[in-house]
Amino acid sequence: MQGIAFGPTIRLLRQAKGISLRELARQLGVSPAFLSQIEAGRQHKIPKARIVQVAEMLGVSEGYLLGTARQVHPELIKFLSVTPEASEFMVTAMKSGLVAQDFTQLREILDDKKQRAALLKTRPTVKSKENTLHSLEEHLDASLCLTGVGVQNKDRLFQRFVKLLAKKHKNASTDRILERLEKREKQSPTSVGGGVAIPHAFVADMDQPVIGAFLLSRAIQYGPTEAERVKTVFFLVGRDGRPEDHLPILARIARLCSTPEFLETLSKARSGRDVYKTIINWDKRISV
């Protein structure tokens, strides 16, 4: 596990699920001291069987656990050390590939107590009136939901989406959006495991966030490894400088994509309309 944040990821998932260190250690059949060493990153030689066991105890797949561990940025650990109540929100949000800049913006928001309260109320697991302000239905565009999309690679995928977006949103700068999507991918691929990717871009000329979803006819190579092949793609394009809007949306999408039953149901969609309805129905279902 050298080189990836395996221990901190276990701690994040454990805390988000409300499991104490002592209880998880008991379930795993190890001492609390040993588990504490793992979570602190001081224990690197962890057998594969133990990794599978940890994933099962935390209710996630082995692929999700390791994939998330590779994406945990040191800024996330710092952020949660001063904002522990945001752990569940951030566990889902980080799965969508947040980068250091996102956390910098988020900390700026949290300096304002009113914005801090509003943001934390949008966590996907919180049932409140404010939560509905960031439901996916508000931003998901049915015309940007497609099945059977045949593309050869990531570049073609992005071009296909941006071209379709331009037909509906005339004021959007297609070149700028494409540039931002590609720039974000160079920072870190937005594949999140399970054959899913959540590419996102933020530009000045968007009035409000727009979400699209493509089901590809065949999986494409999305990241540097064969394990990062993708067949389900969520797009988010929002207005630059508004992280308080797009971070909760990314979190909701990420939470959907960490639900195996949702992905299985979505894969059976026969039309773009089916894709749209499935996303809306499941977003409402897991938010109550």
Residue 86 lies in a domain: no
Of residues 135, 79, 130, the one with CA closest to residue 106: 79
- Quickly state the pLDDT bin for 45 (edges 50, 70, 90): confident
Range of the domain at 3: 1-72
Of 49, 72, 95, which marks where a domain is finished?
72
Residues 89 and 124: beta-carbon distance below 8 Å? yes
Alpha carbon distance, N-terminus to C-terminus of the chain: 36
Residue-wise pLDDT for 7-35, tens only, equals: 888 887 787 677 889 999 999 999 999 99
Q: What is the pLDDT of residue 140?
A: 95
Of 55, 72, 89, which marks where a domain is finished?
72
Residue 187 lies in a domain: yes
Residue 61: give its domain's CATH number. Answer: 1.10.260.40
Residue 211: give its domain's CATH number. Answer: 3.40.930.10
Residues 6+ apart with CB under 8 A from 217: 148, 149, 150
Identify whether residues 50 and 148 lie together within a single domain: no
Identify whether residues 277 and 142 lie together within a single domain: yes
Residue 98 lies in a domain: no
Q: What is the pLDDT of residue 287?
A: 64
Residue bearing the bigger pLDDT, 58 or 74: 58
Of 22, 53, 72, which marks where a domain is finished?
72
**C-alpha to C-alpha distances, 198 to 84, 187, 188, 249, 250, nearest whole angstrom:** 25, 14, 12, 11, 8
Domain count along the chain:
2
Residues 6+ apart with CB under 8 A from 279: 136, 140, 145, 213, 256, 266
Q: What is the pLDDT of residue 127?
A: 37
Residue bearing the bigger pLDDT, 120 or 184: 184
Residues 231 and 277: beta-carbon distance below 8 Å? no
Q: Is the pLDDT of residue 167 over 90?
A: no
pTM attached to this predicted model: 0.66
Residue 261 lies in a domain: yes
